[in-house]
């Protein structure tokens, strides 16, 4: 009877909430395509640059080795889109600088390799959610011919998955340092703007550092 009465308290004592923030670097995967026939040749690619990334997260340690977590992840990256089309009648090309912003809302499960209470706790996480992606023209296009039009502003929303590995280190009571390396995989709206379109999924690699506090 005593155990039953105290069970909610014991449960909460073993499952504290935590909240934190991370910042770091985001790297996007590139893509390209080609379409060559006897009478024409078309090629395209986009080259991404590293950009800033940030994350806010709220989690709950539900078991000794398992936690659940909600994440908001933001990153911004510059891109350069290039396409060329050549046929017997004409040659057309463009080179368009763009900036992209990604906002992801991800829920995931963290599996730790050391028990709660240990000072150093490596983990693996897997989850999924919704990604909001937008790209904007960030400079003048270099172009020639009228067969290809440089891409314009666009935005889209689609599902995405996230896999991450990380490390939590207790600094002082209730405060922890966290490092995480994550990979977000989703539909690729940048490849869809190329002429000809690319075929690869968008991979967003993030190195993030920060702190969180348990309650």
Q: What CA–CA distance (Å, rounded) separates 131 from 74?
A: 10
Q: Is the pTM of this model over 0.85?
A: yes
- What pLDDT does 3 receive? 39
User: Which residues 6+ apart lie within 8 Å of 13 measured at CB?
Assistant: none
Q: Which two tokens stand for residue 160?
A: 């995405």
- What are the strands, taking DSSP E only, across 140-192? 142-144, 154-172, 175-186
Among 107, 124, 110, 133, which residue's Cα sits nearest to residue 204?
Answer: 133
Q: What CA–CA distance (Å, rounded) separates 192 from 189?
A: 5
Q: What percent of the chain has pLDDT over 70?
A: 93
Confidence of residue 146 (pLDDT cuts 50, 70, 90): confident
Q: Decide if pLDDT at 13 tops 60.
A: no
All domains of the chain in start order, with CATH? 16-214 (2.40.160.20)
Confidence of residue 197 (pLDDT cuts 50, 70, 90): very high
Q: Decide if pLDDT at 7 tops 90.
A: no
């Amino acid at each position: 009877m005593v155990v039953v009465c105290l069970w909610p308290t014991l449960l909460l004592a073993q499952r504290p909430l935590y909240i934190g923030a991370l910042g770091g670097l985001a790297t996007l995967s590139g893509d390209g395509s080609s379409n060559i026939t006897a009478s024409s040749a078309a090629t395209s690619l986009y080259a991404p640059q590293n950009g800033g990334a940030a994350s806010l997260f709220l989690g709950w340690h539900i078991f000794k080795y398992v936690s659940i977590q909600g994440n908001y992840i933001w990153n911004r990256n510059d891109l350069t889109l290039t396409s060329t089309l050549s046929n017997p009648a004409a040659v057309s090309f463009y080179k368009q600088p763009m900036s992209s912003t990604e906002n992801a809302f991800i829920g995931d499960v963290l599996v730790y390799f050391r028990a709660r209470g240990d000072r150093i706790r490596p983990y693996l996480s897997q989850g999924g959610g919704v990604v909001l992606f937008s790209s904007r023209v960030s400079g003048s296009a270099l172009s020639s011919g009228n067969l290809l039009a440089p891409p314009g502003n666009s935005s889209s929303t689609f599902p995405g998955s996230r896999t991450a590995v990380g490390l939590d280190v207790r600094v002082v009571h209730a405060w922890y340092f966290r490092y995480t390396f994550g990979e977000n995989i989703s539909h690729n709206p940048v490849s869809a703007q190329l002429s000809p379109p690319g075929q690869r999924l968008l991979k967003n690699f993030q190195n993030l550092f920060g702190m969180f506090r348990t309650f």
